[in-house]
Every structure is written in structure tokens, then in C-alpha cells.
Amino acid sequence: MLFLVLETSECPVHKELTKFYCRNCRCLCCASCHKYGSHKNHSCFQVHEAEEKERKALVRLQTQVEQHGEKFIKARGEVQRTIEEIKKNTIEVKDIARRYYRELRAAIDQGEKTLMEDIDKRSDAKLKVLNEQLR
Ligand SMILES: [Zn+2]
Ligand SMILES: [Zn+2]
């Protein structure tokens, strides 16, 4: 943001507009200073160029921020989807469990009934034999 606050003014030596920024001296200078003056052979570039670089850096930064935002929104969406899936799965799993226990209860009831009938049959058979012995 440094470059954005720098304003071109007149060079006190050459009376030219200070359109250049000297990296070495961290100040503005004019074209003549840059070409053959006190900033000769210094790393200078035109201010509008510096602004352009700064602007591009800002755009890049903004893009990064936006991408992070998108990632966040995407991640939020994924979390939301996972929550919905878990809710759905919970209902499905409960249904399966309910069905399983219903079948299990039916099987137990059936087993109990069969066992009772079997006991009765054996008992009846034994009683029949014993009764016949009494005769
Ligand atoms: Zn100058
Ligand atoms: Zn300089």
C-alpha cells in the first residue's frame, strides 16, 4: 500500500515530475535523477508501474481470500450433507434394527411354541406308556 500513498511531485533539482520510485533510497525521483542524477544505476521503476504491481498483488490476495471463502462454503456444504446423510442413515438403521428385532421376536415366539408343543408331545407319549402299564 506504500506506493498508493506516494504522490508524484516536482524534482527540486531537475524540476521534472517525480514519476520514479527508487528502491535503494526508498523515495521518489524524476526521470533525470534516474538516468544521470543522484539515482543513476539505482533500481528505479515508474510509480504507475509500482501501483500496477501493488494492484495485481491486491487482486491476487483478494482472489486467495475469495477462494478460501469458497472452500469454507464448500466445507460447510459438505458438513451439511454429512449431517443429512447421518440423519437419513439413522432412520434407515433404526428401521433395519426394528425389522431385525421384530423378526427375532417372531422367531423366538415360534421357537417357544414349537418347544412347548414338543414338550407336550413327549409328555403325552410318556403318559400314554405309563397309563398303558396301569391297565
Ligand atoms: Zn530529478
Ligand atoms: Zn536512489
Task: Compute the distance from residue 16 Cα to the ligand 2 centre, in Å.
Answer: 16
**pLDDT tens-digit series, residues 119-135:** 999 999 989 999 998 88
pLDDT at residue number 127: 92
pLDDT at 32 over 90: yes
**pLDDT tens-digit series, residues 43-97:** 988 877 667 777 777 778 778 777 878 787 788 888 888 888 888 888 888 888 8
- Provide the CB-side half-sphere exposure for 41 (13 A, CA): 0
pLDDT at residue number 50: 65
pLDDT at residue number 4: 43
Q: Which amino acid is at 4?
A: L
pLDDT at residue number 7: 60
Q: Which is nearest to 35 in space by CA: 20, 49, 53?
A: 20
Task: Compute the distance from residue 22 Cα to the ligand 2 centre, in Å.
Answer: 5
Taking the C-alpha atoms of residue 116 and residue 105, their distance in angstroms, rounded to an integer, is 16
Please give the average per-residue pLDDT across 9-35, as a whole number: 88
Ligand nearest to the CA of 37: 1
pLDDT at 5 over 50: no
Is residue 46 packed enough to be buried (19+ CB in 10 Å), middle (13-18) or exposed (0-12)? middle
pLDDT at residue number 2: 44
Which residues are close to ligand 2, an ion, with C-beta < 5 A?
22, 24-25, 39, 42
**pLDDT tens-digit series, residues 101-121:** 888 888 888 888 888 998 999
Task: Compute the distance from residue 26 Cα to the ligand 2 centre, in Å.
Answer: 7
